[in-house]
Amino acid sequence: MYTPPIQDQKFIIEYLIGFDTIARQAKIDNQNQESIDKELVWSILEEAGKFASNILAPLNHSGDKQNSIITEEGDVRTPDGFREAYKAMCDAGWTTLEAKSEWGGQQMPMSISAAVCEMWHSANMSFALCHLLSQGQIYALQKSGSEEQKKKYLPNLVSGKWTGTMNLTEPQAGTDLSKIRTKAVRVGNHYKISGQKIYITYGEHDMAENIIHLVLARTPDAPEGIKGISLFIVPKILLKDDGSLDRPNDVRCISIEKKLGIKGSPTAVLQYGDNGGAIGYLVGEENKGLEIMFSMMNHARFNVGLQGLAIAERAYQQAVVYAETRVQGTPLAQETGVPINRHPDVLRLLSVMRSEIDAMRALIFTGANAMDIADNTLSEVIADEQKRASVLIPIIKGWITELSVFHCSNGLQVHGGMGFIEETGAAQYLRDSRILPIYEGTTAIQANDLIFRKTIRDEGRTIRNLLDEIETEIALVDECYSVPMSNAIAEVRSTLEILLSKANDSRYLAANGVNWLMQLGYLCGGWMAVKSADRAMKNAKDLSDDFVNSKKICAEIYLQHSLPHVGTFLNVINHEDNSILNMNVNWLHRQTA
C-alpha cells in the first residue's frame, strides 16, 4: 500500500518555495505565468498519485520477485505488468512532463516534475528507472543535439514511443572514464561503433518499439584521456529517411546483471559492432562528449537524490503501517495489548525517519527550484544562480542517498524479524536503496566535487553565500529554532576555515570530503525543518492543527536528534594529524600469527 504524500508536496510548493516563484520559472509554450496555475498543478499531483498508487505500486513486489529475464535470442522480458503500465503511462502523457513544448512536452518546472517523479519512484523504482534514463537523454539532446537530431529523435522519446539510455561504463572503465576503449570510426556521414558497455539501465527491454543509446567512444586520432571522448547516438533499430523503423543495428544484449536490488529493472551488458560496427551519429563535436555528458550530470544526480527520498518514504510508510498493527510486548507506562508504535524506541525510529524525510523532501524541492532559476534567470545574474544550484546538487545526491539506506534499514528494523523475511517487502526497500549512493557518481565523487570544485576553487565564496542565505532566513524564525541553527552555522563556518587552511593538502581534503558533504547535508536539513515549522505556524489558518503541530514537532526532533551531527563532523575534521592517512595499507590485511 502506498499513500502519495501530496499534502506535504503542496505545502512545500505553496509555502516554502512559493507558487508565484515557481510560476515565474515556467516557460510553457513561451506564454506568461498564467499558463500554469494551482488548479492545474494540484490536478497533476492528484492524478499522478492515483497512477502511482493504483498502477505502479502493485507491481513493485511482484517485479522484484520475478525480475527481468533474457532469452536465448538476447531479448529481454520485463516483469509481468510492466509493459501494460508503461503503455498506460505513455497514453496518459506522463512521459511528456518536463520536455520542451516544441518536441511535444509540457515544459513543467522541475519543482512540479520532481513531485510527480517522487511518486513514481516511491511506488516502483525499478519501473520508473526507464523513464528516468529517457529524461536524461531528452535533456542532453535538447541542449546539445543538432536540429536534425532533435527532429528525428525527440518527439518519439518525449512521447515514450522510444526510450533512451546512457552508455558510459566499460569493464575496465568505471569512474575513470579516461580508460574507455569503445571505438568510433567515421564512415561518410556516420560512425561505426565497436566495443562493450556495462551497467546499462534498460539497455534492452520489451516496453518500447525502439531504444536510443547515447554512447561514449573514441575516434582513432582522439587525444589520450578524457579529452579524447566523443558522444554518439546509436539506435537499437535504424531509421529510414522518413523517420520510420528500418533494420536492427549492430548492437545486442549479451547478458542481464544479477543484482542486489532494483531487480525488476534490466541492467544490460551491450556489445557493439560484432558484425562490422554499429551505426552511430556524432552529437556535438568530436572529443567534446564528456562535456556534453557533464552538462546533464547535475540533472542526473539530482534525480538520484530524488530516488533516495522516494525509497525512504516508501520504507517509512510501510514501517508506520506495520508498527500500528503489530501488537507485541507491553510498552513502558502503557497498557498491555497495544501496538508497537507505543514502544518509545519504535516511536524514536519512526519519528526521526519522519522528520528527516520531511527535511529531505523540502531540500529536493528547493534544489529543483534552484535549478529552474539557474536555467531561466537573467544573464547578468545567471553565474551566481548556477553556482547556488550546483553546490546543492552534490549535497542532495550524497546526503539524501546515504540517509535513504539508513532509513530503509530502520524501516526493516521496525519490522523486527519479519523485516528480514522477503514476504513483508521491507527488505526490498533496503536492497533497492543500496545502489543510490553508488550510481551516477558515488558519495565520494560527490564529496570531491563539493570540496575541490565548489569549496576550495572559489575560496569558499559559494558556500559562504549559502550559509548567509540560511542565516538570513533563520533570523526570522522563533528563537527556539534559530539558536540551535545559528550554533550549527557557526560550526560549519569553522569547518570551512579549517578546510580552506588545508587548500594545498589534497589528501587531507579528500579524506574529509564525505564528512564535509554530510555536515552540510545535516545543516541544510535543519534549515528545511525549521523553515517548514515556521511557515506552517505562520499559515496556520489555512492548514489543519494536526499538520501544523506535526511540522513543529518534526523540527524539534530534527534539532535534537539530527542537527548535532554537524558538531560531530566538525570534531572529526578538526585534526591536524589525520589518523586515516596514517594507516599503512599493508596493515589492512589480517595476519594468521
Q: Report the C-alpha gap between 193 and 332 in whole angstroms.
A: 67
Q: Report the C-alpha gap between 11 and 529 in whole angstroms.
A: 13
113 membership: H or E segment, kind and range: helix 110-144
Concatenated DSSP letters of 555-577 = HHHHHHHTTTHHHHHHHHH--SS
Q: What is the CA radius of gyration of the chain?
A: 24
Q: Report the C-alpha gap between 555 and 531 in whole angstroms.
A: 9
| 203: phi then psi, degrees, rounded to nearest 5 | -65, -25
Q: Are 244 and 225 in contact (CB under 8 A)?
A: no
Q: Are 315 and 426 in contact (CB under 8 A)?
A: yes
Q: Report the C-alpha gap between 83 and 76 in whole angstroms.
A: 12
Q: How many CB atoms lie within 10 A of CB 431?
A: 17
Helix (H/G/I), strand (E/B), else coil: 12: helix
Q: Crossing angle of helices 382-415/344-376, nearest 10°? A: 160
Residues of 128-159 as b/e, b for ≥16 C-beta within 10 angstroms? bbbbbbbbbbbbbbbebbeeebbebbbbbbbb
Work out the end-to-end distance of the chain between its first and last CA atoms, rounded to an integer number of angstroms: 54
Catalytic residue IDs: 440
Q: Are 197 and 272 in contact (CB under 8 A)?
A: yes
Q: Report the C-alpha gap between 120 and 391 in whole angstroms.
A: 26
Q: Report the C-alpha gap between 276 and 250 in whole angstroms.
A: 8
Per the structure block, which three cell numbers stand in for 267?
541492467
The DSSP symbol for 504 reads: T
Contacts (Cβ under 8 Å, ≥6 apart) of 521:
395, 398, 399, 400, 402, 403
Per the structure block, which three cell numbers stand in for 574?
578538526
Q: Are strands 245-248 and 230-235 parallel, antiparallel or unpaired?
A: unpaired
Establish how many alpha carbons lie within 13 A of residue 261's alpha carbon, considering only the half-sphere containing its beta carbon.
Answer: 22
Using CA atoms, how far residue 286 sits from 169, 177, 198, 230, 295, in Å, is: 19, 16, 23, 5, 16
Q: In DSSP terms, which residues pair with 327 in a beta bridge?
A: 339
Residues of 500-527 as b/e, b for ≥16 C-beta within 10 angstroms? eebeeeeebbbebbbbbbbbbbbbbbbb
Helix (H/G/I), strand (E/B), else coil: 367: helix
Helices (H) and strands (E) in the chain, counts: 18, 12
Burial of 21 (0-12, 13-18, 19+ CB in 10 A): middle
H helices of 506-544, in order, are 506-538
